[in-house]
Amino acid sequence: MTIPPPIAMLAELTHRCPLACAYCSNPLELLVAKTELGTDIWTRVFREAAALGILQVHLSGGEPASRRDLEQLTAAASEAGLYTNLITSGIGLTRARLEALMAAGLDHVQLSLQGTTAKVADFIGGYKGGFDRKMAVAADIDALGIPLTLNAVMHRTNIADLPATFDMALTLNARRIEVACVQFQGWALKNRSALQPTRDQVETAKRVVAEATERLRGRLVIDFVPPDYYADYPKACMGGWGSTGLNVAPDGRVLPCHAAETIPHLTFPNVLDTGLAEIWNDSQAFNAFRGTAWLPDACRSCSRVTRDFGGCRCQAMALAGDPFAMDPVCKHSPHRAKVDALLAEDAPDGWTYRRMAAARP
């Protein structure tokens, strides 16, 4: 069977980050700096990605600006023919660095937004002074004319600030904003009950998004990702396992999605010893859940199967303890009661910030 090439690669250049967001999608066991791939290996990987047919690379982390060679990495990706998108908190960027990144071929920036005021943003990001520095970086991005998308993760503490979030996107001259309700992976899963919005909050948010989408049409593109747990059916996670994208972790392991290492029976090949094309086409991890033949009978006979592919494998693992199960969010799942029980949980007062203290060597 010929496997179509992926469209995008998430290059997780580092797990280092000055911020400590409690919803970070990075794994609980973060990788330390000395495990990170060097400039030369990334350069080879970008060339292999382009040869495989990948069109765009998301330079991500952690905070990619924590890498001193970010400019060289951007140039390498651009020279390989990839569209380069920098996903950043802004911390570690300066006007001079942004100019150097532009000269290196940077095409686009996605700037994360933890909140719309310094008080809220610095509390959520666990980093005092972060908001003011981010605003200065956003002004530089605008002045330099780099296309900007804002990424705002919405959760119980900040979802009421959606109107102010859209106002901020206009103020910063962003062309697009992604407002994604928190997805429960990595640190967000650990902090689930503190972050889970209430049903009323979600219904209000949907109305606010619908009104803003209409009002701002032609000025701002709004992409809204509603929360999974209140839905009747799951999302088509990653557009189907091993079908549209791949993640390269800071140490070179290649994952079908950033939470895939929570599935114990998968083994992840590494770019240090295997080519990207071989990993994509032939590896156990990428073929484990391709197509629909492995799904339970109830999914294979369901009319939605070509839309959601049975939902998210990592969510099935996390909630049902079985990566082959129907996504427990689905109303037909025998595990749906577990999701409803989680929605009924009380929210604790605090959360656990993402910290390198849990780092693996």
What is the Cα–Cα distance from 186 to 33, expressed in whole angstroms?
Answer: 19
Omega before 186 cis (within 30°)?
A: no
| Helix residue ranges per DSSP H, the chain | 39-52, 70-79, 95-103, 118-125, 130-144, 162-171, 187-190, 192-195, 199-215, 276-282, 284-287, 297-300, 305-308, 313-320, 336-343
Nearer to ligand SF4, 108 or 332 (CB): 332
Q: For residues 223 and 282, which CB has a smaller minimum distance to ligand SF4 in the complex?
A: 223
Tell me the three-class secondary structure of 171-190, residue by residue.
HCCCCEEEEEECCCCCHHHH
Footprint of ligand SF4 (CB under 6 A): 17, 19-21, 24, 26, 61-63, 89, 112, 233-234, 298-299, 302, 304-305, 308, 310-311, 326-327, 330, 332, 354
Residues 6+ apart with CB under 8 A from 64: 13, 14, 70, 86, 87, 88
Least distance between ligand SF4 and beta carbon 60 (Å)? 8
Tokens of 228: 């999974």
Nearer Cβ to ligand SF4 (332/338): 332
- State how far the alpha carbon of 342 is from the alpha carbons of 189, 237, 311, 352, in Å: 12, 21, 18, 18
Residue (37 or 320) nearer to ligand SF4, CB: 320
Spatial CA neighbour of 188 closest among 357, 25, 17, 19:
25
Give least dist CB 127 to ligand SF4, A: 9
| CB-neighbour burial class of residue 7 (10 A; exposed 0-12, middle 13-18, buried 19+) | middle
Q: How far is the CB of 23 from ligand SF4 (least distance, A)?
A: 7
Which CB sits closer to ligand SF4, 61 or 269?
61
User: Among candidates 318, 341, 315, which has minimal Cα distance to 327?
Assistant: 315
The CB-of-61 to ligand SF4 minimum distance in angstroms stands at 5
- Shortest distance (Å) from residue 342 CB to ligand SF4: 18
Q: Which pairing describes strands 56-60 and 8-12: parallel, antiparallel, or unpaired?
A: parallel
- Least separation in angstroms between CB 176 and ligand SF4: 18
Cβ 168 to ligand SF4, closest distance in Å?
17
Residue 281 CB, nearest approach to ligand SF4 (Å): 26
> Residue 59's closest CA among 109, 104, 131, 16?
109
Beta carbon nearer to ligand SF4, 43 or 89: 89
Residue 17 or 154 having the CB closest to ligand SF4: 17
Residue 243 or residue 283: which is nearer to ligand SF4 going by CB? 243
